[in-house]
Structure 1
C-alpha cells in the first residue's frame, strides 16, 4: 500500500481518529513499525498463542473465532480496515489469545511493539484517548456477545440482528453482511436452525428472503417480536 493511502487509512482508524495525516506521519517518524501481509485464509494467530504485537488493519479483513473440542465453531467477530486486532490483550497479564484469527481476504497490517505504542500513548493525548475508547468498545462488544449467547433464544438472536441491520442500514431492505454459515456461527447455532427461523419469519409474512438480502415486509410485527 502506498504511503499516502496508508496515512489516509490511519487517519480514519480508531487509534488515530482526530489526527491529520501530516500529524500521523510525524508520529510515525519517531517509532519503529513494519507492514505485514497475510494471504486470504492464512492464519494470523492460533488460540492459546501469545499476543506480543499491536497490529492495526490497513486493508482487508480478519475473522476471530473459537473452536470447541467437539469441532463447533463460534464466530466472535470480523476486524476490518482501521481497527486494532485484540487491543485488550496487548497489556494484559495473560497475553494468550482466546481466539483463532485468520485472514478473510488478502490483508495488510501495521505492526508495532507494545513499547512503541506506549510511546504514542504517553506522547499524544488524542492517541491515548482513542486507545481507551478502542478497549472500551471491545468490552461492550464482548458484553453484548455474552448476553446474546447465554440469554437469548435462537429466534431472539435472529430477530435482534435483523432489527440492528435495519437501524444500521437505514431501511427495510438489508444485507446480512456475511454468509449464512458465518451468521449461524456468530449466533452459536446450527445453519439449519438459522434457515428454519428465517423460513418461519417469511411464512408469517414478516420478511422476504433472497439470498443475503432480506426485505422487511412488516416492520411493526418485527418490532413486536
Structure 2
C-alpha cells in the first residue's frame, strides 16, 4: 500500500460534486457563536438573502481571483482553514475556521491585495451572501458609506497584516499551537483547568491540518505534552490555552 501523503490531499476545485446542502433556519443561525448577537429579525433577513453551498472535504471555498470574490462566506458547519501566501509562496496558517466564522475581508475590501485561500478540512456547509445584501439588508446602512469607512479604518490595518505575512515564517510547532488554540475556541469544552477538544482527530489528521509530516507533528506534540501545554487522551486533546497564547507571543 502506498504511504499516506504528509502534505495532505490535493485541494479539489469546485468541480467536485458535494452532497446537497440542508435547509437552515433563522434559529439554526442564531445558535452559531459568531451570529448569536443578531436579533431574530436580522437572522431571518440573513437567511432569506443567503444561498447555501456544500463543499466536500479538502476543496477550495475561496481563492483570490476566483469568480466568487464578491461574496461574504459564513461557515455553517464543518472545519476549514484560512491560509495566506507570503512573498515566497509559502503557505501560512492564519486561522482554523468553524461554525459561525465569517470570511468577509476579500469582498468588503476588494481593492486590497490579500493572497488569501480558504479551504475545507472536513465537509463544510457554507452560506454565501453579497456584501451589499449583508450591509444594506442586515446592518442597515448604504454599502458605499460602509465601504468608505472600512477602507479608512480596517483597510490600513489589513495592509499591515498582509505585509507582515510576507515576513512570517511559522514553525510546525507554532502551526500546531495555532491550530489547537483555534479548535479549542470553536469546538472546545472548558473544564476547571483546561480546554478539551474532542473531535476524534488522529495524529495524521492534525498533520494534514497544519500541512506537515506525521513524524514531525508527533515530535512537536511530544514536546508540548512534556512541557504540560497539551495532554492527549486517545484522540482527545486537552490544551492549556493561556500557555499556548503566551508561547505564540514569545
| TM bracket (short chain) | 0.5 to 0.7
**Aligned twin of 2:218:** 195
**1:69–1:7 Cα change, 3 Å:** same
Q: Which stretches in structure 1 are left out of the alignment for 5+ residues?
A: none
**Over the residues paired in the alignment, what is the CA RMSD in angstroms?**
4.9
**Aligned twin of 2:117:** 100
**Aligned twin of 1:24:** 43
TM value normalised by structure 1: 0.58
- Deviation >6 Å, runs of 4+: 68-71, 151-164, 204-207
Q: Give the Å deviation of 1:44.
A: 1.4
Match of 2:190 among 153, 156, 169: 169
* Structure index of larger Rg: 1
TM value normalised by structure 2: 0.54
Look up the SS of the partner of 2:43 in the other structure: helix
Q: Give the Å deviation of 1:113.
A: 1.4
Q: Give the Å deviation of 1:52.
A: 0.8
Q: Give the Å deviation of 1:19.
A: 1.0
**Aligned twin of 1:89:** 106
Q: Give the Å deviation of 1:17.
A: 1.9
Q: Give the Å deviation of 1:180.
A: 3.0
Does structure 1 conserve the Cα–Cα contact (< 8 Å) formed by 2:189 and 2:195?
no
**1:84–1:190 Cα change, 3 Å:** same
Note the 1:149-188 alignment, pairs <5 A: 169-170=190-191, 171=193, 174-175=196-197, 179-182=205-208, 184-185=210-211
Note the 1:65-76 alignment, pairs <5 A: 65-66=83-84, 73-76=91-94
Q: Give the Å deviation of 1:53.
A: 0.7
Residue by residue over 1:99-145, the C-alpha shift from the partner in whole angstroms, topping out at 9 and shown as x without a partner, is: 2222233322222212111212225xxxx9xxx9xx98xx89x97xx
Distance across 2 between alignment mates of 1:80 and 1:210: 22
Look up the SS of the partner of 1:181 in the other structure: helix
Q: Which stretches in structure 2 are left out of the alignment for 5+ residues?
A: 1-21
